[in-house]
Amino acid sequence: MNAKSPMSELERIRHSAAHVLATAISKLWPDAQFAAGPPVDNGFYYDVELSHRISPEDFARIEAEMAAEIKANHVFERQVVTRYEAMEMATKGRLAALGERDVPSRFKLDILSGIPEHEEISLYTNGDFIDLCAGPHVMRTGNIGAFKLTHVASAYYKGDERNPQLQRIYGTAFKKKAEMEAYFTMLEEAKRRDHRKLGRELDLFTFDEDVGPGLPLWLPNGTVLIEELEKLAKETEFAADYQRVRTPHLARENMYLTSGHLPYYQESMFPPMELAEKNADGSVAEVSDRYYLKAMNCPHHHKIFKAVPRSYRDLPLRLAEYGTCYRYEQSGELLGLMRVRSMQMNDAHIYCTPAQFEAEFMAVNEMYLKYFRIFGLSNYLMRFSTHDPARLGEKFVNDPEMWKQTEDMVRNVLQKSGINYVEVPNEAAFYGPKIDVQVWSAIGKEFTIATNQVDFAVPLRFGLAYKDRDNTEKTPLCIHRAPLGTHERFIGFLIEHYAGNFPLWLAPEQVRILPIGDEPELVESANALRAELRSHGIRTEVDASTDKINGKVLHAEEAKVHTMLVLGRRDLEGGTLSVRVHGKGNLGAKPRAEVVADLVASVRERRSNDA
């Protein structure tokens, strides 16, 4: 039972903290039955079946027992055992326990039954607690630094709703207390920036039970964000010689069988729509056709490539579409805009020859870097996923030569471009290597926003071909790329990254004019200024309410309007505007023409908030 992959020092600390958590629970509730307790992003958890319902009120007691176990500084001792020895201990209730019990360690028995015959089985002991575990751990319990329990949730054993529902106790651990304190400070700021909270407050999007879970409705303010992102993408892709296409929202079953998404991706697709003709007597005949909602755009784009004869002179061919896709995410996995069932994807597929691949992949990376600069993202990482040669023909297309060629090409491009990346084995797509783009928001919260994939297999399945210089037919390589990901996930990220304080070019309401008073001449001038700014494409409104100017400023600040233009009698007479920017305060009076020109230039250049 070998550890599946090496753990970082922090992961070992958290893995060890999970065992200490189980030790503490065993001391308080000896009848506890434990399932799995791994380290996870930002912490650890342990799944437990227990008659007592653990709540946050229990955390202080549990943490006190954990602190005592850490103070005891017990060694994490590894022991390799035979399958028979492990099964015997589990039968006597000794695994994940402080001693033998009257009932077996039933989840550990089940886990043991799933370990392959050839695999080594190991136990870890700390004090009196023994657990079935592949490791690794820190040397002693005293090597666990600062820790804290965070919350408790329900989880089905092995994620299967047919299995028992367990209590999942979450916690986190760090090497130093200061690191943990910084983490919890970040969490508090993350709550303030939560896109679900700000989405409601800023009228960006909503969900409705009658429409269905995971199906966002975009309100006017949110639609502005969508349209600005699409405008950015279309301008960028036009400059890079992409051609735009449109495809339907559904397709016949046969196309997804050809692509291989059926049956391998079927669980993530909505159930099929079955069409059947009626018999003469009105009864329903056998199903004659099945259609699926589109879960991905690539098969449709492959059909567009194949629709006309192609020559090497036509390549590279870059087909782009903001296509709407539908994926049946499990209800428990839905999370605001981050995990949805309907998504609009900044998708494109580049068909090229092997000789063109490097330049095309490099250009895609340059497009990412351009977007990172626009959105002020300096902390990012490309996660390069490769295949496992041992799983060719099982998890990955069985073409070792093409795997080596395409992985070498991707690796070479990443090294040449100087982009920060890590290589992760055994996580490629079934048809080729892929890159997941990880970014960190302004407060250090990590997001996966986009994916690049190299596909050398599916074009062949669709019979895609081009005539090469020697008049022979060859299959193109295909690069799947989506630098802005989906509107839903990317806008969710941007809401949290900017805390709703969008740069001027992206802000739903860019300018609000605030007349001081309701004199007809002031109101008329405010409306004329609104018309002038809107003629330049700047989203501008006038606050014509009877509120005092301080109240108008407060309302605009609460709505996170980017720029407020205060217009009083003195401004009217002097041809000036008093400028106030959200988050920066009063910038003073400036000539009207200068203010208008600067607003227009800021939007055109897509300046950041810091500019």
Domains of the chain (ranges; CATH) run 9-175 (3.30.980.10), 201-272+290-498 (3.30.930.10), 511-604 (3.40.50.800)
Instruction: Answer whether 197's CB lies under 8 Å from 495's CB.
Output: no
Q: Token pair 């395409």 is at which residue? A: 406
From CA 155, how far away is CA 492, in angstroms rounded? Answer: 26
Reported as half-sphere exposure (CB side, CA atoms, 13 A), residue 421 has a value of 22
* Res 5: pLDDT: 52
Output the pLDDT for position 3: 43
Q: Provide CB contacts within 8 A for 284, sequence distance 6+.
A: 276, 278
Asked if 90 contacts 101 with a C-beta cutoff of 8 angstroms, the reply is no
Q: Residue 268's pLDDT is what?
A: 93
Global pTM reads 0.83
Burial class (CB in 10 A: 0-12, 13-18, 19+), 598: middle
pLDDT at 2: 38
- Alpha-carbon span 294 to 327, nearest angstrom: 8
446 forms beta bridges with 440
Element (H, E) at 188: helix 177-193
**In this predicted structure, what is the pLDDT of residue 283?**
76
Torsion angle of C-alpha atoms 87, 93, 96, 98, degrees rounded to 10: -130
Evaluate whether 447 touches 493 at the Cβ level (below 8 Å).
yes
Q: What is the pLDDT of residue 24?
A: 98
Look up residue 9 and give its two tokens.
Answer: 């020092």
Q: Give me the average pLDDT of each 10-residue run along the chain (611 residues).
A: 66 98 98 96 95 97 98 97 96 96 96 93 97 96 97 93 95 97 92 95 97 97 98 98 98 95 90 85 79 96 98 98 94 92 96 95 93 93 92 86 92 89 89 91 86 91 96 96 95 96 98 94 95 98 94 96 96 95 94 97 93 65
